[in-house]
Chains A and B, each alone.
Chain A
């Protein structure tokens, strides 16, 4: 393990920043190709039924149109549904674009026009005439929830924990009870970069695919399986991703369609979704939580019952961790969990921004706030009274859990002690001031990841790994780790990511990349040090000829004897002395024994000040303090940015984001960024991030837990609780819009 050194643990600016702000970073739809053709998708206008007739003659007659692909003329692809599965998909039969005449959801791709220019393809798409036979659809979760079921096949790692004790009985006997429903609207990821794929075709039968993805290997395997290609003939390159938020974890339909067209036409193809089409695939499922808490008169929990119903498609059972948090976070002997699904005529929901956690935690932490009011106990004190030292769901010890420090440091910075607990008691002019808080929690994982470190002939250090950087700062932290590993400056490190030719890595998600890829890079650097020493020792007249690995230090681009730093060799000279570049490749794996015995989570405490106009219901979030315990912080600057980003999405969840479906047509109506609201600058004021000290030598080789998701988890609940404190109104359905506060 590399100690905090020059770079690791220090605030460093993103090394990919200049490329991004100057337009030098190339995204999936920007890669050039000779003789490039352009696709445009025709989307279904109905939510369920069949295509009675699809007339492409007018579109195909347009000069410049190469082909209009439909279910009637699509090229053959793999027969078995299992060939369409991917690394992270849920149980079920994955959607196959243009498979047959069935319409499964509104916005489904039903034809692909490929033309010499984008403009021609777009024009032709409007000329495709479709006659549908509509069937009765259901897109309303309320209408379908009575048919909800427990998914027979669980998605790996997503099963709710076992129930314990007798939660029902304990609830009925509890002197203090809260039992409510908490609902969250369907949300869409809406990364700035729409989903896009550029397939570069060549006559040798190889394709290079530039895909908007959070996992190049996942896209590669999907393409190989679906189209019957050898992986060696499919290279996926995606060095930059313009925001993922989970939308790039699974292959999306533009990948299938672009590769299909390219192989069929033997041409390079580019296909980019429009913003409205970004509402035609993965999204966060609309979810209803039924949550009951029972507590004794002192607010100590005696019972937790958490039952969630979430929407899924008719073809797959998407599951995420919604209810487990309620059994994990607080000490409680009796708990029951249920996570059911209701099938709607929609596309399969998927992982989005801490999948499941902010939904379940919104319910749990709203209910805890309601319990605090009922018990007349300060919300922070209530949480401390119920503090769980161990993982309550498994009984395992935490490798570290500094949530207490999050509460105390967050409260201190926020000034929580000045809070008058009476709702509506704090005001300034027309504005009611509300202070609310909530806890956050997310898992800390390590996944099998490989990385290579290579000393290039010019003395620079190249780090390579197939993982993505979806904007989280992966390039930068890997450069920091490598720079300290070999004792070189950060600008002497070249980081290569997002390419299937590079050492294997899982999809980038779940907040595991820093811990996993970081450890792999660190291990590769460790081995490379030994290789460098061996080579240095062999150099003519080497001062390191007899040195062992413990005798030497790497610093300032040189290898030197610890005892006599005047005896040293420049890394560049070592690199020059060998015939082939020195390199080392290492793989890290999750600690299986560690995982059997211990649990690892990140935690947070979020404190929020809102101001609500007493007459008009206008909500302003004026202050947020998010205190986070996430193990070792590799880069406080990019780490802070990640938490701020998560908090901003929490604001979006609490106040803005909602896909509005007209259930009569089964269609989302606000399919644009003008009408699907996400927070804008005016909605985001002071956000303070605190990283509490948390030392954890077990969670991962570098002591890192990961930060990609913890920022959002408790935020929406804390905002809703602050709004209650300001107004006395408990809003249990998100987003909280003006109309819900009026009256």
Chain B
């Protein structure tokens, strides 16, 4: 860990100014990921700007359009327990509760979760090469211990995955990320917020250095999925483990027929993995295993395994079908009963 200065921002603009002033400045809120990375010498910030005192970022408010806007420093715990979220976007609450531990969720924030970094072993170990940590040094994961790595959207430079559960639900629900920077405000659709590694895996997101996340908006229309959703997470132990594969599935049903569908995968790519073609295929079809398997085929098209993670392709396919089955039946995966319905 290197020494750094610590500033408390009173306003979002303060924070943006601090970021713009120095390249080595990082935003800190809950610190549940950043502090670890600093201890491991992966992140070496010169300055930290604390945004947890910016009151207006801590609220969940109704939008004029009928959606909900979640402030960047709303904690994972508060978000998952919010009555409006649980009623209108239960998929999001479910995904959050599938991640981390109560202690971590009490500290972790919405903005921080969007910006958490991969769990790739090589990224964390400064004794090894890693293109994400030190561009141009190589990716030992491709031929190394890659059990937890990507099967979709990876590149020669990087096969890391995004570790978030929350983001998988946000992607499925079509959320948008609100950011502010020196150049003003932007709204980034969730699908464009995280990126694929390509040749620049050092960038996890499309956020500019002088921008901070101010909040996330859930669209009104996504509330239609509340009755038929699930977040199914498969991992190496029954709690407190990152996803090998997770599926956020949401259906809008007309009797037994799919009116609209959303699917996103976690643990398989550098970003929450969504393909609109797979969702479009379900529309107008009967909500049953045959259709679900075809949708899974499309969602996983082009999947490629490495030495230790080939199993994820089969696992993901089965998980997608199962999750859609759960969603269709209106039996969302329980976050406390680990039996998979």
Q: Report A's interface with B, CB cutoff 8 A.
A: 45-46, 106, 119, 122-123, 126, 274, 276, 429-431, 611, 613, 615-618, 620, 655-656, 660-662, 664-665, 667, 669-672, 674-675, 677, 679-683, 737-739, 742-743
> How many angstroms from the CA of A593 to the CA of B76 in the assembled complex?
65
List 5 tightest A-B contacts by C-beta distance, closest first: A45-B127, A669-B121, A682-B239, A739-B311, A682-B238
Among A274, A620, A680, the residue within 8 A (CB) of B339 is A620
Query: What number of A-B contacts does a CB cutoff of 8 Å give?
Result: 106
Using C-beta atoms within 8 Å of the partner chain, give the interface range for chain B.
35 or more
B31 contacts chain A at the CB level, 8 A cutoff: no
B277 contacts chain A at the CB level, 8 A cutoff: no
> How many angstroms from the CA of A126 to the CA of B1 in the assembled complex?
8
B121 pairs with A616, CB closer than 8 A = no
B121 pairs with A680, CB closer than 8 A = no
Specify which chain A residues have a CB less than 8 angstroms from the CB of B311 in the assembled complex.
Answer: 738-739, 742-743
> Could you tell me which residues of chain B, from 188 to 239, have a CB within 8 Å of some CB in chain A?
234, 236-239
> How many angstroms from the CA of A18 to the CA of B236 in the assembled complex?
34
A675 pairs with B119, CB closer than 8 A = yes
Specify which chain A residues have a CB less than 8 angstroms from the CB of B122 in the assembled complex.
Answer: 669
Once A660-B145, A738-B311 are accepted as A-B contacts, the answer to whether A665 and B318 lie under 8 Å apart by CB is: no
A616 pairs with B144, CB closer than 8 A = no
B147 contacts chain A at the CB level, 8 A cutoff: yes
Once A119-B1, A620-B339, A660-B147 are accepted as A-B contacts, the answer to whether A680 and B240 lie under 8 Å apart by CB is: yes
B143 contacts chain A at the CB level, 8 A cutoff: yes
B314 contacts chain A at the CB level, 8 A cutoff: yes
Specify which chain B residues have a CB less than 8 angstroms from the CB of A681 in the assembled complex.
Answer: 239
Among B1, B125, B338, the residue within 8 A (CB) of A669 is B125
Specify which chain A residues have a CB less than 8 angstroms from the CB of B242 in the assembled complex.
Answer: 674
B237 pairs with A620, CB closer than 8 A = no
- What is the CB-to-nearest-CB distance from A649 to chain B, in angstroms, rounded to a whole number? 14
> Could you tell me which residues of chain B, from 263 to 316, have a CB within 8 Å of some CB in chain A?
311, 314-315
B339 pairs with A738, CB closer than 8 A = no
**Closest residue on chain A to residue B144 by CB atoms:** A662
> Could you tell me which residues of chain B, from 115 to 174, have a CB within 8 Å of some CB in chain A?
119, 121-122, 124-125, 127-128, 140, 143-145, 147-148
Once A123-B2, A613-B340, A680-B238 are accepted as A-B contacts, the answer to whether A667 and B143 lie under 8 Å apart by CB is: no
- What is the CB-to-nearest-CB distance from A593 to chain B, in angstroms, rounded to a whole number? 49
**Given A665-B144, A667-B125, A742-B314, 14 other A-B residues pairs in contact with their CB atoms under 8 A:** A45-B127, A122-B1, A123-B1, A123-B3, A616-B234, A656-B236, A660-B145, A660-B147, A661-B145, A662-B140, A662-B145, A675-B121, A680-B238, A738-B236
A616 pairs with B238, CB closer than 8 A = no
Among B40, B237, B319, the residue within 8 A (CB) of A680 is B237
B187 contacts chain A at the CB level, 8 A cutoff: no
A-B contact pairs, 30 of them (CB 8 A): A46-B127, A106-B127, A119-B3, A126-B41, A274-B39, A276-B40, A431-B339, A616-B322, A617-B315, A618-B338, A620-B338, A660-B147, A664-B143, A664-B144, A665-B127, A665-B144, A670-B145, A671-B125, A675-B119, A677-B236, A679-B237, A680-B237, A681-B239, A683-B239, A738-B315, A739-B147, A739-B311, A742-B311, A742-B314, A743-B314
B241 contacts chain A at the CB level, 8 A cutoff: yes
B244 contacts chain A at the CB level, 8 A cutoff: yes
- What is the CB-to-nearest-CB distance from B5 to chain A, in angstroms, rounded to a whole number? 14
B237 pairs with A655, CB closer than 8 A = yes
Among B121, B128, B319, B340, the residue within 8 A (CB) of A670 is B121
**Closest residue on chain A to residue B148 by CB atoms:** A675
> Could you tell me which residues of chain B, from 315 to 341, have a CB within 8 Å of some CB in chain A?
315, 318-319, 321-322, 338-341
Among B128, B314, B321, the residue within 8 A (CB) of A667 is B128
Most buried by B among A617, A664, A667, A669: A669
> How many angstroms from the CA of A46 to the CA of B241 in the assembled complex?
28
A616 pairs with B127, CB closer than 8 A = no
**Closest residue on chain A to residue B127 by CB atoms:** A45
> How many angstroms from the CA of A193 to the CA of B40 in the assembled complex?
19
**Closest residue on chain B to residue A122 by CB atoms:** B1
- What is the CB-to-nearest-CB distance from A332 to chain B, in angstroms, rounded to a whole number? 38
Once A123-B1, A613-B340 are accepted as A-B contacts, the answer to whether A620 and B238 lie under 8 Å apart by CB is: yes
> How many angstroms from the CA of A48 to the CA of B318 in the assembled complex?
43
> How many angstroms from the CA of A667 to the CA of B122 in the assembled complex?
11
Specify which chain A residues have a CB less than 8 angstroms from the CB of B340 in the assembled complex.
Answer: 430, 613, 616, 618
Specify which chain A residues have a CB less than 8 angstroms from the CB of B244 in the assembled complex.
Answer: 738
> How many angstroms from the CA of A390 to the CA of B48 in the assembled complex?
69
A738 pairs with B322, CB closer than 8 A = no
Specify which chain A residues have a CB less than 8 angstroms from the CB of B127 in the assembled complex.
Answer: 45-46, 106, 665, 667
**Closest residue on chain B to residue A120 by CB atoms:** B3
Among B2, B124, B125, B319, the residue within 8 A (CB) of A616 is B319
> How many angstroms from the CA of A613 to the CA of B311 in the assembled complex?
16
A616 pairs with B318, CB closer than 8 A = yes
B145 pairs with A618, CB closer than 8 A = no
**Closest residue on chain A to residue B129 by CB atoms:** A665
Specify which chain B residues have a CB less than 8 angstroms from the CB of A677 in the assembled complex.
Answer: 236-237, 241
> How many angstroms from the CA of A679 to the CA of B237 in the assembled complex?
7
- What is the CB-to-nearest-CB distance from B31 to chain A, in angstroms, rounded to a whole number? 15
Specify which chain B residues have a CB less than 8 angstroms from the CB of A680 in the assembled complex.
Answer: 237-240
Once A618-B234, A680-B240, A743-B311 are accepted as A-B contacts, the answer to whether A611 and B41 lie under 8 Å apart by CB is: no
Specify which chain A residues have a CB less than 8 angstroms from the CB of B144 in the assembled complex.
Answer: 662, 664-665, 669
Once A667-B128, A742-B315 are accepted as A-B contacts, the answer to whether A682 and B140 lie under 8 Å apart by CB is: no
Specify which chain A residues have a CB less than 8 angstroms from the CB of B140 in the assembled complex.
Answer: 662, 664-665
Most buried by B among A46, A615, A620, A655: A615
Specify which chain B residues have a CB less than 8 angstroms from the CB of A123 in the assembled complex.
Answer: 1-3
- What is the CB-to-nearest-CB distance from B269 to chain A, in angstroms, rounded to a whole number? 18
> How many angstroms from the CA of A664 to the CA of B341 in the assembled complex?
41
> How many angstroms from the CA of A370 to the CA of B231 in the assembled complex?
38
> How many angstroms from the CA of A40 to the CA of B319 in the assembled complex?
45
A683 pairs with B119, CB closer than 8 A = no
- What is the CB-to-nearest-CB distance from A486 to chain B, in angstroms, rounded to a whole number? 45
**Closest residue on chain B to residue A669 by CB atoms:** B121
> How many angstroms from the CA of A119 to the CA of B38 in the assembled complex?
12
> How many angstroms from the CA of A122 to the CA of B236 in the assembled complex?
32
